[in-house]
Amino acid sequence: MLVLGRSQVEALLDVDSLIDALASAMADLSAGRASVPARVAALVPGRDGFLAAMPGFLPSASVLMTKLVSLFPHNDEVRLPTHQAVIVAFDPDTGEPAALLDGTAITTARTGACSALSARLLAREDATVLAVLGTGVQARSHARAICRVRPIRQIRVAGRDPAKATALAAELSAVLEGEVQAVSSYAEALDGADIAAATTHAVEPVIRRSWLTPGVHITSVGYNPAGREIDDATVTEALVCVESRQAVLAPFPAGSNDLLMPIRDGLITAAHVHAELGELIAGSRPGRTTPDQITLYKSVGVAAQDAAATALVVASAREQSIGENITLR
């Protein structure tokens, strides 16, 4: 069995290839070709955390895998990642365990890359200003990935901790073209932004309709069982797209409060979800229809994304003879 650590996974994942692979994976998911059951979780109430299992089979990539991912929101207080994961890939012909790899890096990369895919499908072609809300690993991943699909010339970073926002802006300035600056509030970051990437653990919405510019594309990947990132006014007005209707509308731990709460309150129905990304790719549902339309990609993360990334990493590792081979028997 091939074993790959985090630094190896990070080195093997090419963002452009991952975005393209995710397009195929999302198309497979919407067409019913992928087997991706809803995730289940064991709760750890004393830490407000949980351990979730996310199995998936993606025939087009010939990958059968499962991810075990923990979410411990208080880890940022002790400088540990809030999300940590491992992935086990199995031979799709025999079911034999074939690879064990770090899943934390894959989760980070595939989440940002799928948001970039949503921007490629829904953001205006002339989008140049990106607002990044949050200062963690997903903020970094989103800034780097979204710049691959739109001609971003300015990035504004906002977070709860101004020092972290300043540090992230400096870090991104060193690796990305264009102007990167830290700003003092979410509202300031969003003012005039063409694309907004929400990557927080917010309880109260960090994206509010009154702060948005017409035509903005929003990606929202943050998750907090006690809260939400997007306010009701934005959700009700926006063209809403998701990875999977089944996943985003499922109960905890799979669904999204950003949609479940306004449905509960009678502000929208499940039919308000306009399309899955795979439907946009296949052309069975239209995307943006006017320049001033607000579009929203609400992500909850699905195993098809992890499977697509795993296939890329394992294939590249075997091609380059990277990783350690161990025997379990």
Return the pLDDT at 297: 98
Which pLDDT value is given to residue 285? 97
What would the pLDDT profile of 75-108 be if each residue is shown by its tens digit? Answer: 878 888 888 999 999 999 999 999 999 999 999 9
CATH class of segment(s) 2-106+304-325:
alpha beta
**Over residues 195-215, mean pLDDT:** 97
High-pLDDT (> 90) share of the chain, %: 91
Residue with tokens 């702060």: 211
Looking at the predicted structure, is the pLDDT value of residue 329 above 80? no
**pLDDT value at position 77?**
80
Query: What is the β-pairing status of strands 129-133 and 63-71?
Result: unpaired
Amino acid at 228: R
Query: Quick one: pLDDT band at residue 74, thresholds 50, 70, 90?
Result: confident
* DSSP bridge partners of 130: 155, 195
Q: Where do the H-state alpha helices sit in the chain?
A: 6-12, 15-31, 104-122, 137-146, 162-175, 186-190, 232-237, 245-248, 257-264, 277-282, 303-320
Architecture of domain 121-301: 3-Layer(aba) Sandwich (3.40)
Q: What residues are paired with 70 via a beta bridge? A: 51, 84
CB of 66 closer than 8 Å to CB of 88: yes
Average pLDDT, integer, range 16-45: 96
**Local confidence band at 51 (pLDDT 50, 70, 90 cut-offs):** very high
Mean pLDDT of 186-211: 97
- 224, pLDDT greater than 80: yes
CA dihedral (296, 298, 299, 304) in degrees, to 10, reads -70
The pLDDT of residue 103 is 97
Write down the mean pLDDT value for the chain: 96
| pLDDT per position as a tens digit, 110-166 | 999 999 999 999 999 999 999 999 999 999 999 999 999 999 999 999 999 999 999
Using one digit for the tens of pLDDT, what is the confidence trace for 229-266?
Answer: 999 999 999 999 999 999 999 988 889 999 999 999 99
- Under DSSP, the state recorded for 41 is E
Ordered DSSP codes for 67-105? EEEEE-GGGGGGT--SEEEEEEEE-TTT--EEEEEESHH
Rounded Cα–Cα distance for residues 67 and 86 (Å): 6
pLDDT of residue 293: 98
Do residues 87 and 101 touch, judged by C-beta distance below 8 A?
Answer: yes
The answer to whether 223 and 255 are in contact (CB under 8 A) is: no
Mean pLDDT across the stretch 277-281? 98
Phi, psi of 230 (to 5 degrees): -115, 135
Q: Is 307 left (phi over 0), alpha (psi -120 to 50) or beta?
A: alpha
The confidence score (pLDDT) of residue 82 equals 85
**Under a CB-based contact definition with an 8 Å cutoff, are residues 111 and 138 in contact?**
yes
Let me know: does 294 contact 85? Beta carbons within 8 Å.
no
Query: Domain boundaries in the chain?
Result: 2-106+304-325, 121-301
